[in-house]
Chain A
Amino acid sequence: MFAFILRRLAQSILVMAVVSAIAFSLFNFVGDPVNNMVGQDATREDRVRIRQELGLDDPVLTQYVRFLGNAVQGEFGLSYRIKRPVDQLILERLPATLELVLVSAVIALVLGITAGVYTGIQRNSWFSRFILSSSLVGVSLPTFIIGIALIYIFAVYLRWLPSSGRGGVVDLGWWKTSFLTIDGWRAILLPALTLSLFQTTMILRLVRAEMLEVMQSDFIKFARARGLSERAINFGHALKNTLVPVITIIGINIGGLIAFSVITETVFQWPGTGLMFIQAVDFVDVPIMSAYLCFVALVFVIVNLVVDLMYFAIDPRIRIGAQ
């Protein structure tokens, strides 16, 4: 197990090294950093002086090492456009994204597992067929179209829910939450639903497939022979044994949720990190682009690592196999 964790760690470090190298080279390939910091009328001497102050004349490797040192401490410099430290900007907007991701993960899990178990057990009922065929449509629908459709139905036509923003937020000092007001909950509903739909269909299909397979196995037949209740068989025995692949997919999907939050946040003008990233790309705000890239890669690496470790906790067979 130790060797396994070490190998995983090595790979994670490699990923971060490559990503940080790309994030670093963004500064050099995209635009001239000096031009982005001084006005049009800066003199040549000013520019040369700033170049030296920033250490842009040092060898590339020295610059990269310095970049890494700063990045590890969360230092990515000032945003070109807003002229404020990038780490502050990200931290300010992180609660919005995390709350959105959390709510949609819960929606996806509850809906996905419930519907997956149902369609796995009642495989031939008309309702199962209906769920399955609509899930196929769900996979084909691009996220932003789902968002637009929900906005049109619930915000424009029915006027039940707001179409953009976070609604009422409560400032806890270091965390602005929309969980404490009714307005906040109303605002988070549509974006969270939009973000969760694709994940729901993935989880649904996976749980269903796993349930179908497990239901054929000998230990379920044995449980039936012992006269256990349907409930105990379905949930205590069958569902439990489908959880390993489900946890993998959930782990991968948390990353997916963060990625697709870029789209959802743009559709709903949700003031999170994803919207900030898109705006940064629009204005070629390199420090934000670079920081966001590193941040997302870090989230992914950590999630993947945690998922791998959770296998050990959940499935005793893997623990034994690895020894």
Chain B
Amino acid sequence: MTEHTEDVSGKPPSLWARILDSDITYSFLRTPSAIIAAAITLLAVGAALLAPWIAPFNPFDPSQISLWDGKLPPAWAEGGQPQYLLGTDNQGRDMLSTILYGGRLSIIVGIAAVCLGMVLGVTLGVISGYFGGMVDAVIMRFADVQLTIPGILLAILINGIGRAALPLEFREEFAIYVVIVAIGLTDWPQFARVTRGATLVEVNKEYVQAARVIDLPGWLIMTRHILPNVMRPVLVLATIGLALAIIAEATLSFLGQGIPPTTPSLGTLIRVGNEFLFSGLWWITFFPAIALVVLVFAVNLLGDWMRDALNPKLR
């Protein structure tokens, strides 16, 4: 800790003060690309979460949609109407609103999938590193085997199996959960590897030895002592993983394997728009695609910065 947080009264500094004074904040404020990326990410997440309140229309409310307004170009183009800023799709839904709602779905699926992969991977990784031996060998071999097959292919496969296992009438309703599970299950080996590596380092340190000496139960040592100390690399991985998960969801949806068109995500919107590309209705594909690319790019930049900022070697 630097000198200006030292309180005369000897009180430990508040959490807020500690955050403001940390190396991460310092690095963040001095990396313009990180600030821009964070701003775009926050804006996108904010817009997505607030979609029901800020979107000009509700694309799922049939009373607000009229087919007469279908296929209108953006407001500034010839034939555009001012109330539809980015134009309308083939069903007469306002593009801006569908993108806000679609982005919301993409972000929710991405975050949920990463969380699932992270919980699974971190749990297995800590267990693997803490116990070692056979447990370690089995878990890590599984991770190795899974890593030989590229993630997107595995996600398509798990997703396909999940869909096929569901009865036809539930397929659309549960599609989103199937997608989350499929992407989450493809994600875990990376988390497990990183966590295991960090755990192996921590296990040999004095505080873990001390905890063992006073005979704390293993799960307590793992969750309260080791876990907080291995979270740094995991957070970096989670950020980069979020970008990949959003891409994976969009790809699945684009291939027609993901979120159904009744409640479209960005990928579904691009898929639907793609059918109208040849008739020159470029805006139905273009705007969702731009939204997706900007979102992924911002999250990627944020991940890049975090990797550098949290890596003590580069400081």
Contacts and interface: CB of A to CB of B under 8 A. Distances in A.
A284 B251 CA distance: 19
Contacts of B257: 278, 281-282
Contacts of B300: 136, 139-140
A56 B310 CA distance: 55
Contacts of B165: 29-30
Interface stretch (B4-12, B86-94, B121-129, B285-293): B285-293
Interface string B126-160: 00000000000000011011001110110011011
B6 to A, nearest CB: 41
Contacts of B297: 137, 140
B153 A259 contact: yes
A266 B256 CA distance: 10
Given A29-B165, A278-B156, A152 B148 contact: no
Interface in A109-144: 136-137, 139-144
Interface in A295-315: 296-297, 300-301, 304
A263 interface: yes
B58 interface: no
Interface string B277-309: 110101001000100110011001000000000
B156 A281 contact: yes
Contacts of A137: 297
Majority SS at the chain A contact face:
helix
A151 to B, nearest CB: 7
Contacts of A141: 293
B277 A152 contact: yes
Contacts of B145: 14-15, 18-19
Nearest to A141: B293
Interface in A264-297: 266, 277-278, 281-282, 284, 289, 293, 296-297
B250 interface: yes
A138 to B, nearest CB: 11
Contacts of B153: 259, 262, 296
Contacts of A284: 160, 163-164
Interface residues of A, number: 43
A51 to B, nearest CB: 20
A30 B156 contact: no
B285 A148 contact: yes
Contacts of B274: 148
Contacts of A277: 156
Nearest to B288: A145
Contact of B148 (A149, A151, A266, A297): A297
Contacts of B289: 145, 148-149
B188 interface: no
A156 B145 CA distance: 42
Given A15-B148, A30-B164, A259-B152, A140 B157 contact: no
A256 interface: yes
Nearest to A31: B164
B161 interface: yes
Given A145-B289, A148-B289, A151-B277, A300 B156 contact: no
A29 B251 contact: no
Contacts, number: 102
Contact of A142 (B161, B164, B292): B292
A35 interface: no
Given A11-B144, A142-B250, A281-B257, A293 B157 contact: yes
A76 interface: no
A24 interface: no
A293 B153 CA distance: 9
Contacts of A263: 152, 251, 254-255
Which of A30, A137, A145, A301 has the largest count of B CB atoms less than 10 A from its CB? A145
A289 B160 contact: yes
Nearest to B289: A145
A319 to B, nearest CB: 24
A142 B251 contact: yes
A297 B148 CA distance: 8
A263 B243 CA distance: 18
B178 interface: no
A260 to B, nearest CB: 7
B243 A144 contact: no
A292 to B, nearest CB: 9
Interface in B28-49: none
B181 interface: no
A191 interface: no
Contact of A148 (B141, B144, B148, B277): B277
Contact of A300 (B148, B251, B292, B296): B148
Contacts of A31: 164
A170 B275 CA distance: 30
12 contacts: A18-B142, A29-B161, A29-B165, A136-B300, A140-B243, A144-B270, A148-B270, A259-B150, A259-B152, A263-B254, A296-B153, A300-B149
Given A26-B161, A144-B270, A255-B148, 12 more contacts: A14-B141, A15-B144, A141-B293, A148-B285, A151-B277, A152-B277, A156-B277, A259-B152, A262-B255, A277-B156, A278-B255, A282-B256
Interface of A: 11, 14-15, 18-19, 26, 29-31, 136-137, 139-145, 148-149, 151-152, 156, 163, 255-256, 259-260, 262-263, 266, 277-278, 281-282, 284, 289, 293, 296-297, 300-301, 304
A-B pairs, 9 with minimum CB distance: A281-B160, A259-B150, A140-B297, A284-B164, A259-B153, A30-B164, A142-B247, A144-B254, A140-B296
